[in-house]
């Protein structure tokens, strides 16, 4: 039995159908990538496994561990979210609460889904931050999200997602907001933690290079329809659907001027000015300039 099985899933927002008859499955410990352009339906399809899509009408079947997600009660969904299925979102600053410390937010998840309380829950939260490679985890746990760097915030969100040892991790563009060096570190961290815990990973991305390196299988979506899926090597090296072929062939090309091509760009006497307020009564009548 598959860990996650989606059959004939359709999603409507009002009269508009945004996902049409999508089916796929994910085995325990497997890495599946949902690939497509923006607005192709990747995220709403993945988050439907948690019924996190507001004001949407879902039809079809979503089974997690053999249980029907669409038939779950609110208490059952609260147990599912965070304990069995966790999510890493694209932008940590919008996912983390700015008025609570990072450690307190991880503790909240631990206390909600486990029997740990107080000092034990705090120690577990600090340990989770340490496991994802955050230096001086005890001090960082007492920091607010804005006091951490982008890479540290992403690691903190991963620590929160993995604190309760979920069976499935949904990673929604987990490295898009990071620079190239930190991006590679986060991906290697996810792979290491996934292998240690034996959890499944559902990766939402448009980055085919990332897919080639980290996914076992790939499913391609176009305008709410799943047009192709299969082993990563097969889909990326021998794509069958025209849309998949376009994605594979849409790699950026560097148009570098040949040696001896002469001057390519020239700029002279360039200046940029901004209006600024002058101090005192002068500011009532005129503004200054800052160059």
Distance CA 42, CA 39 (A): 8
DSSP state of 257: P
Torsion of CA 256, 259, 264, 267, to 10 degrees: 120
User: Would you call 54 helix, strand, or coil by DSSP?
Assistant: coil
The C-alpha atoms of residue 131 and residue 143 are separated, in whole angstroms, by: 17
> Does residue 170 lie in a domain region?
yes
What tokens does 170 get? 């949904």
**Parent domain of 89:** 4-248
Residue 262 lies in a domain: no
Let me know if residue 196 belongs to a domain: yes
Which ranges of the chain does DSSP label H, i.e. alpha helix?
42-47, 74-79, 92-95, 102-113, 118-131, 137-140, 150-162, 180-197, 208-214, 232-237, 242-248
Pairing mode, strands 31-35 and 217-222: parallel
In a domain, 143, yes or no: yes
pLDDT reported for residue 84:
92
d(Cα 124, Cα 104) in Å, to the nearest integer? 11
Per the domain annotation, does 160 fall within a domain?
A: yes
Decide if 284 is inside a domain: no
In the block, tokens 């561990």 appear at 65
Q: How many domains does the chain have?
A: 1
Concatenated DSSP letters of 135-161: TTHHHHTTS-GGGS-HHHHHHHHHHHH
Residue-level pLDDT at 133: 84
Q: Which residue has the tokens 């503004």?
A: 287
Distance of CA 190 to the CA centre of its chain: 12
Query: pTM to 2 decimals?
Result: 0.80
CATH number of the domain within which 210 lies: 3.40.50.300
Q: Could you say which DSSP state residue 253 is in?
A: -
> N- to C-terminal Cα distance for the chain?
66
DSSP string, 172-192: ESTTTTS-HHHHHHHHHHHHH
Report pLDDT for 38: 87
Residue 279: inside a domain, yes or no? no
Does any domain span residue 266? no
Residue 170 is predicted with a pLDDT of 93
List the chain pLDDT tens, one digit each, 291 residues.
789 999 999 999 999 999 999 999 999 999 999 999 888 999 999 999 999 888 899 999 999 999 999 999 999 998 898 889 999 887 777 788 999 999 999 999 999 888 899 999 999 999 989 988 888 999 999 999 999 988 888 889 888 888 888 899 999 887 766 667 777 777 787 888 788 878 899 999 888 888 888 899 999 999 999 999 999 999 999 999 999 999 888 866 666 777 777 777 889 988 888 777 777 766 666 666 655
């Amino acid at each position: 039995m598959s860990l996650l099985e989606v059959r004939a899933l359709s999603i409507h927002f009002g009269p508009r159908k945004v996902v049409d008859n999508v089916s796929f499955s994910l085995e325990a410990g497997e890495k599946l990538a949902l690939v497509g352009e923006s607005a192709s339906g990747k995220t709403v399809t993945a988050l439907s496994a948690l019924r996190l899509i507001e004001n949407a009408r879902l039809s079809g079947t979503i089974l997690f561990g053999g249980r029907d997600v669409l038939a779950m009660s609110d208490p059952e969904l609260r147990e599912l979210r965070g304990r069995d299925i966790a999510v890493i979102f694209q932008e940590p600053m919008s996912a983390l609460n700015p008025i609570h410390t990072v450690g307190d937010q991880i503790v909240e998840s631990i206390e909600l889904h486990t029997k740990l309380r107080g000092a034990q829950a705090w120690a577990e939260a600090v340990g989770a931050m340490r496991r994802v490679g955050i230096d001086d985890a005890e001090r960082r746990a007492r920091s607010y999200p804005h006091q951490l760097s982008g890479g540290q915030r992403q690691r903190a969100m991963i620590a929160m997602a993995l604190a309760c040892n979920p069976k499935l991790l949904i990673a929604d563009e987990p490295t898009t907001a990071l620079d190239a060096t930190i991006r590679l570190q986060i991906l290697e961290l996810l792979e290491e933690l996934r292998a240690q815990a034996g959890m499944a990973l559902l990766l939402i991305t448009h980055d085919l290079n990332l897919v080639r390196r980290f996914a076992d299988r790939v499913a391609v979506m176009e305008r709410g329809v799943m047009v192709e899926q299969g082993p990563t090597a097969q889909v990326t090296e021998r794509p069958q659907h025209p849309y998949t072929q376009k994605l594979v062939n849409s790699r950026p090309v560097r148009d570098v001027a040949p040696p001896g091509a002469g001057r390519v760009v020239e700029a002279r006497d360039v200046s940029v000015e901004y209006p600024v307020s002058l101090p005192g009564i002068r500011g009532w009548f005129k503004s200054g300039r800052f160059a």
